[in-house]
Structure 1
Amino acid sequence: MQAYFQFHSKLDSFQLFSVAHLFTIGIILALCLLLFVIHNEVSKKQRILRFLLVFILFIADLLHHLWLIYENAWSIKKDLPLHLSDLAVFLAIVMLLTRNYKLFQFMYFAGIGSSIQAIITPDLGKFSFPHFQYFEFFILHGGVVLACLLIVVAFKFKPTHRSLWATILIVNLYAACVFFINKTIGSNYLYIIEKPGNASILNYLGPWPWYLLSMELVMILSFYILYSPYRGVSRRRR
């Protein structure tokens, strides 16, 4: 049992699209679809579901950092919540508590987009199933996606084309700030300085610094894919 909690794990390296990975993706997808299938019940019990998700996200993230500290592995260079998908966890908690529409519009694109990318191409190294970090990672990132979709189902919030481009602008301004943080403390948040060592989509986007431009285009494309269901609704209404 101890092997499943060690930071220097002796488990096999995480395998992209392994049976465990695909099964985990399937569970997250099923939960997302379930929100829409039982949308009436979700709307009636939205308060309970919101606070349940807040509790899960908060506890999971707290345990993650406590575990790193206990293992003497916490580092300012890699464990600050500066990756967009990590920052999205905190913003998801605020969004669930406040039901802020403007925050939702940002989270719909940046939160869901970054979390889906993390779920599909996770940077887990030796933390393969059934390591503690494996469960923690997917609970947090899957929880962000569920949080955004819960708000969609329960409150009928919708993203706009304007908020899509506002999110792109905010993400780029945030990336510029993170770049200077990286230079100051020698970190690689947002993978601006170099590519991650896993099977990330960044490994297919060219060398540094050109992959940063490719990453920008991928972000815009992914945001438009997320917006596409609402674009169709707007056209039918017109």
Structure 2
Amino acid sequence: MMLESEYVTIGQKKKIGEEAAALYFWTPLSKMPGDVKGVPIFSATHLTWLAIALLGCLLAVWLFRKQNGGRRVKILRLLAWILVLGCIFRIGFRIACGVFSPRWDLPLHLCDVMMFVEFYAVYSKKEFPRELVFALGMPGALAALITPGEIYYPFWNIYYLLFIMLHVLLFLIPVLMLADGFVPRVRRLPGCFAFLAVLAAVDAVVNRQLKSNYLFISEAAEGSILDVIQEMFGAWYLPAAVGMVLLIWGMLYGGVYLWRRWGRK
């Protein structure tokens, strides 16, 4: 027989859950209690915020296209500043919390690097940086949003929310560049591949020195698209990952070609 004090209503459970979520809002993963539930890939929470984010991007493109040239420039620059400052804040906050580790937290993953490249692309308006963010930043961000690596964080946590915000912006800015008239060119892809190869070489050296896993060269992130490739190809994981990049480029640039051809009719 339960005592009256042992009964917990649904409303009380909800309140307790909200208080627990608020309690761990600023908590890094290394200090998170083991019983705190994260957000699994393709869970209801993940699919809900992903759908909202993608619909928000569509709305942003629609509103962006209605602006004149001057306002478009200001919007892109504002988003670029939010993106790069968010990345810097994330690193600075980890330092302030005493949990920063060169093994895990240097901005050497593809998406981290592309955040700074996007900032440069927005301000320089040069074609090659814009090609980089279209060919590498945009698909990388979309892949991260579809299969996020921050699965052990609860939704209501600063690191998880920063992850969403930064990767949505990383995806959105190249899309807005396309809406502003940028035209991707296949002839720039060798340069994009060279950029990726140089980054991989740098990360390989860093990984060897720090025993880290930047660019997921040593091992794929759990639950990611690369994880599926690693399961399928085993020791041939890296060549298969390169093949996946080429396949994505084929779909991206094939789509651009068909869009431009359809647009002329």
TM-score where L is the length of structure 1: 0.90
In the alignment, the residues of structure 2 paired with residue 22 and residue 125 of structure 1 have an alpha-carbon distance, to the nearest angstrom, of 13
Choose between structure 1 and 2 for higher RCO, CA contacts under 8 A separated by at least 6 residues: 1
Deviations 1:150-174 (A, max 9, x none): 22212x0111111234322321232
In the alignment, the residues of structure 2 paired with residue 147 and residue 73 of structure 1 have an alpha-carbon distance, to the nearest angstrom, of 30
2:32 partner letter: S
Q: 1:88 aligns with which of 96, 110, 114?
A: 114
- Report the counterpart of residue 120 of structure 1 in structure 2: 146
Shift of 1:49: 0.7
2:57–2:172 Cα contact (<8 Å) kept:
yes
Per mean C-alpha deviation after superposition, the further-off stretch among 219-228 and 168-177 is 168-177
Q: Say whether residues 1:6 and 2:27 are aligned partners.
A: yes
2:233–2:240 Cα contact (<8 Å) kept:
no
Q: Say whether residues 1:108 and 2:131 are aligned partners.
A: no
Structure 2 segments unaligned to the other structure (5+ residues): 1-21
SS at match of 2:105: coil
In the alignment, the residues of structure 1 paired with residue 217 and residue 189 of structure 2 have an alpha-carbon distance, to the nearest angstrom, of 22
Deviations 1:219-238 (A, max 9, x none): 11112222223211454559
Q: 1:47 aligns with which of 64, 73, 76?
A: 73
SS at match of 2:215: helix
Query: Sequence identity, in percent?
Result: 25
SS at match of 1:15: coil
Per mean C-alpha deviation after superposition, the further-off stretch among 11-20 and 205-214 is 205-214
TM-score where L is the length of structure 2: 0.82
Q: Say whether residues 1:184 and 2:209 are aligned partners.
A: yes
2:141 partner letter: S
In the alignment, the residues of structure 2 paired with residue 70 and residue 135 of structure 1 have an alpha-carbon distance, to the nearest angstrom, of 18
Q: Say whether residues 1:164 and 2:176 are aligned partners.
A: no
CA RMSD, aligned part only?
2.0
Correspondence 1:11-50 to 2 at 5 A: 11-38=36-63, 39-41=65-67, 43=69, 45-50=71-76
SS at match of 2:24: helix
Structure 1 segments unaligned to the other structure (5+ residues): none
- Report the counterpart of residue 57 of structure 1 in structure 2: 83
2:39–2:45 Cα contact (<8 Å) kept:
no
2:119 partner letter: I
SS at match of 2:39: coil
Distance 1:132 1:101, change over 3 A: same
Distance 1:31 1:100, change over 3 A: farther
Max radius of gyration: which structure?
2
In the alignment, the residues of structure 1 paired with residue 69 and residue 171 of structure 2 have an alpha-carbon distance, to the nearest angstrom, of 17
Deviations 1:73-128 (A, max 9, x none): 11111111111011111111111222222100111010011111111111114212
- Report the counterpart of residue 227 of structure 2 in structure 1: 203
2:228 partner letter: Y
In the alignment, the residues of structure 2 paired with residue 50 and residue 185 of structure 1 have an alpha-carbon distance, to the nearest angstrom, of 36
SS at match of 2:238: helix
Distance 1:70 1:207, change over 3 A: farther
Shift of 1:30: 1.6
SS at match of 1:77: helix
Q: 1:98 aligns with which of 110, 121, 124?
A: 124
Shift of 1:19: 2.0
Distance 1:77 1:208, change over 3 A: farther
In the alignment, the residues of structure 2 paired with residue 75 and residue 15 of structure 1 have an alpha-carbon distance, to the nearest angstrom, of 25
SS at match of 1:4: coil
Per mean C-alpha deviation after superposition, the further-off stretch among 55-64 and 83-92 is 55-64
Per mean C-alpha deviation after superposition, the further-off stretch among 225-234 and 21-30 is 225-234
2:121–2:130 Cα contact (<8 Å) kept:
yes
Q: Say whether residues 1:223 and 2:249 are aligned partners.
A: yes
